[in-house]
Amino acid sequence: MNHLSEDDFTLLLENEIASMPKHLIAHFNMCKSCKAIFDEQRLVHTTLVKIKPQTAPLMLTRKILIKLTAMEKTFKSNVKTDWLFLIAITVLFFVASWYTYFGSNDILTAGYFNEINEYTSQFNRPDLNSILIVPFTWLTDFSVKTIYLFMGIISLAMYWLFDNHLNGSIPTKKS
């Protein structure tokens, strides 16, 4: 004789007796062993149905709220920092682009293509040199490597900026 399975007892407890095959119901009515198991299960079941949760520590809500408030503040200050950072990056990027475009000949002269420079310097734009390059003559010390470094810093900064938002470490404020 096959006794009822653990699954069958769960069905019985959930009052799904109607969904059980007739031979199982017949067995349950006849078998004292299964009836005893069912009584045992029902006893615990009726007790557990009314169970209440354990009480969380008293200060838990307060602790969480303090953390969340701190997060909000960090978020707000981060937003300010992000804006300053973005402006700084834009300015740097603008200067870098400006110099790369208008001062390319001067950069190339920094020990790399002297011959070319000698040739191209004859065709330098005096107006642009006086207007755009001369005020930034200190920049003429820059080498190509410096420009790469510049771009590297910008890339890192952009990465930092977007990473902070994309990985969700700063909650996005919708309202």
Partner 1 sequence: METEKQIIERLKNCDLQAMEELMKIYQDYVFTLAYQIVKSYTIAEEITQDVFIKVFKKIDTYQARSKFSTWLYTITYRTGLNYLEKKKITFNMTEIENSQNGDGDSLNFFETVKSGYLEDDPDIKKILWDAIDTIPQMQGLVITLYYLQQFSVNDIAEMLNIPQNTIKINLFRGRKTLKELLLKKYKQEELL
Residues that bind partner 1 (CB under 8 A): 6-7, 9-10, 40-41, 43-57, 60-61, 63-65, 67-69, 71-72, 168, 171-175
How many whole angstroms separate alpha carbon 24 and alpha carbon 3? Answer: 8
Nearer to partner 1, 43 or 87 (CB): 43
How many whole angstroms separate alpha carbon 4 and alpha carbon 21? Answer: 11
As measured in angstroms, the least distance from the Cβ of 57 to partner 1 is 5
As measured in angstroms, the least distance from the Cβ of 115 to partner 1 is 60
Nearer to partner 1, 50 or 145 (CB): 50
Nearer to partner 1, 16 or 118 (CB): 16
Q: Of how many residues is the chain composed?
A: 175
Give Cα 100 distance to the centre of its chain: 34
Nearer to partner 1, 9 or 99 (CB): 9
As measured in angstroms, the least distance from the Cβ of 169 to partner 1 is 8
C-beta contacts of 87-90 below 8 A and 24+ residues apart: 88/157, 89/154, 89/157, 89/158, 89/161
How many whole angstroms separate alpha carbon 109 and alpha carbon 122? Answer: 13
Report phi then psi at 123, rounded to 5. Answer: -105, 15
As measured in angstroms, the least distance from the Cβ of 21 to partner 1 is 17
